[in-house]
Chain A
């Protein structure tokens, strides 16, 4: 079993839709949970990170962590064509650091 599982998609939504991206994990030692966005042929860029369980909001983006279910989510409200990218979750437990495989998102104007 992989440390981090993420549905690769692709996911295609109309502009303005609410997008939900998810990851599950198996290692209960993970404490930090990150979401990165990667545009085509670019490096990943950090969107936001959350420590332990709970929600964190930044503009149109909300990150949610449920440690009891080993499940994290990223919600994008009022999605825009510029949100079209691959979204990677990542998790950290001290010196153990893993990325999900990424979900490809296309927002159609």
Chain B
């Protein structure tokens, strides 16, 4: 059973396009996150949702918009993709704390 799943696993697209990454968790957790991991493996939190409400919104371009239709799903929509958006994006979830997070397998985004 997959705990945190993401689709797609790989995404190759051109500059200027709009794309979405989907995340689902079947752990019954209340909080979900989006992270960006750059080529140097630095993992930075972008957003956090608790029960469908935004609780962390780090300084990211407003081209990135998270959407949470229910507490088991947190999707990431990216408008007007740029070369610098190329990275691995991880979704994660936790029950009621930041310190015990479960990560998805990642989505490798390449912008050409």
Binding site for B on A (CB under 8 A): 8, 32, 34, 38, 41-46, 49, 86, 88, 90, 92, 95, 97-99, 101-102, 104
Contact = CB atoms under 8 A, between A and B. Distances in A.
Contacts of B55: 95
Nearest to A102: B41
B40 A42 contact: no
Given A86-B41, A101-B40, A101-B42, A46 B105 contact: no
Given A42-B106, A102-B41, A92 B90 contact: no
A49 B55 CA distance: 22
Contacts of A95: 55-56, 98
A42 B105 contact: yes
Contacts of A46: 100-102
B103 A44 contact: yes
Nearest to B105: A43
Q: Interface size for chain B: under 10, 10 to 19, 20 to 34, or 35 or more residues? A: 20 to 34
B43 A44 contact: yes
A11 B100 CA distance: 26
B99 A32 contact: yes
A99 B100 CA distance: 13
A104 to B, nearest CB: 8
A3 to B, nearest CB: 11
A32 B4 CA distance: 23
A36 B30 CA distance: 21
